[in-house]
Structure 1
Amino acid sequence: MRNLVLLPGFMLNQHLWDDMHADLSTLGSLTFGDLGQDIGIEAMADAVLRQAPPEFVLLGFSMGGFVAQAVALKAPERVRGLALLNTSSRPQTAQESAATKAQFDIAQRTPFKGLTSRALASSLHPDLATERSLLDRLQAMALANGKEVFLRQLQTLRDSHAEQLGLLRCPTLIVASDHDRLRSVEESAEMARQIDGARFEIVADCGHMTPIEKPAELFEIIRDWVQASGL
């Protein structure tokens, strides 16, 4: 039986995959990684490895993609295939770190009411940025995670594994979206160049939240890659 381990992004959870759950289940047994209990990419990766089956195909979305890279480098003998979705290998910039610290300082002393409307809207294709049903789904995940997870994930600086990605030998899929305002197509193309033999796909007319915006198209890409790679 093939095992798939799925990692969500910042302030998301397993419901990120709801629209793909049935289709993904046709590929194998699903395990949903929890990235809310630890601080730091490496600690999150260790937690994923403790929870995961002995061998698995790993799918990491956004922040989960950074964790997925760390998992694959820590335990290459366990990761049969690696899918990096709407993510990057670039480290956090000084400007991003300063903004995150300011956000953390405010969040520590104020009640958590979810993510801002601006943050939610920016994660979607511009044409969907006012789609109430999608915004509500994203906010529901953030609220379910709560303040403590918010603070832990804000403290998780993005580590870069760019210099080590060339060591990866497992089949690798990289997916970008052409209207992603949080992670650029160029960042994904950069990873594809760093990983020998990586398959690179771009989802058209889609924002950052590919599993919610284009679940059927994303599943087809993942299914075809799994089958073509003999995973």
Structure 2
Amino acid sequence: MAFKTDAILFLPALLCDSRLYKSMINHFADSVEVSVADTLSDNNLRAMAERAIHSMPERCALVGNSMGGYLALEIAARAPGRVSHLALIGTNSHADDAGVRTKREQAIRLAERGKFSSFVDGYVESALSFSNRAEHAPLMREMARDLGADTLVAQQRAIMDRKSYEDDLSSIKVPSLVMVGREDGLADTAHQQTMAKRLPNCRYMEVPKCGHLVPLEAPEILNSALTTLFSA
């Protein structure tokens, strides 16, 4: 199957790195140029997006899970002509409301008070579906431990500072995919459905028996969906 993109940029979720996308990288690396965005050097999405735009190929498919989806939308808003395809996984297009901001501030306080592991415990439980937790929790914990409390603080601040992208969706005409796990404890499927409806050229998918981190929990389903997307 011929792909209509020459490059893919994968954008990791909170406290994740390239290991989140290992299966996708292995699947697509022989066909197109693949890279992973740097989400560790900045504490705001604007700077992350500018760093990604500077380093990515002239036209590139974006695949973002959770925080990576926010970053993908920021890149699309800043450099729409550089984006060939867009995949938004377990993410949303609106700014945080007061309740969500409070939870993020609580996470920052835990990290700053030396209770980073307590946050990670709750994050793992909320992010992964029960049926996948035993298999994938060790890698989640490993990534979180390797990235550390300072990364959590910087990324939470970046997420809290983001704007709403809802008014930008109708102008994103490239082939798009919105995907969410049906057992996602961190994303609201109603938001996903609304976002998919506002994107003019979008396919919407719900993944059964899957939580927030679809690239880990359902890699074969995601690889198949991305294959279809990149062929459009």
Instruction: Find the counterpart in structure 1 of residue 153 from structure 2.
Output: 151
Q: Which amino acid aligns with 1:124?
A: L
Q: Deviations over 1:3-29 (max 9, x none)?
A: 100000001001001123221224411
Distance in 1 separating the partners of 2:120 and 2:143: 13
Find the aligned partners of 1:146 and 1:15 in 2 and give their Cα distance: 15
Two-structure CA RMSD over aligned residues (Å): 1.7
In the alignment, which of 207, 211, 217 is matched to residue 211 of structure 2?
207
Q: Which runs of 4+ in 1 moved over 3 A?
A: 111-115
Residues 129-176 of structure 1 show CA distances to partners (whole Å, capped at 9, x for unaligned) of 3x0x41110011111112221110121214310011111121111111
Q: What is the letter of the counterpart of residue 16 of structure 1?
A: L
Output the CA distance in 2 between the equivalents of 1:103 and 1:201.
30
Please identify, of 97-106 and 68-77, the stretch whose mean Cα deviation from structure 2 is larger.
97-106
CA distance in 2, matches of 1:21, 1:164: 28
Task: Answer whether contact 1:59 1:83 (CA < 8 A) is retained.
Answer: yes
Matches within 5 A, 1:95-114: 95-110=99-114, 112-113=116-117
Percent identity, aligned pairs only, is 24
**Number of positions where the alignment pairs a residue of Structure 1 with one of Structure 2:** 226
Larger mean CA deviation between 101-110 and 181-190 belongs to 101-110
Q: Which of the residues 189, 192, 196 maps onto 1:192?
A: 196
Q: How does 1:1-231 map to 2 (within 5 A)?
A: 2-110=6-114, 112-113=116-117, 115-129=119-133, 131=134, 133-156=135-158, 157=160, 158-227=162-231, 229=232
TM superposition shift of 1:112: 4.3
Question: Which structure is higher in helix share?
Answer: 2
Question: Runs of 5+ in structure 2 lacking a partner?
Answer: none
Mind listing any 5+ residue stretches in structure 1 that lack a counterpart? none
CA distance in 2, matches of 1:114, 1:9: 19
State the distance in 2 between where 1:174 and 1:103 align: 27
Normalised by the size of structure 1, how large is the TM-score?
A: 0.91
Conserved? CA contact 2:6–2:32, under 8 Å: yes
What is the letter of the counterpart of residue 128 of structure 1? N
Q: Distance in 1 between matches of 2:59 and 2:118?
A: 35
Residue 113 of structure 1: how far off its partner (Å): 4.1
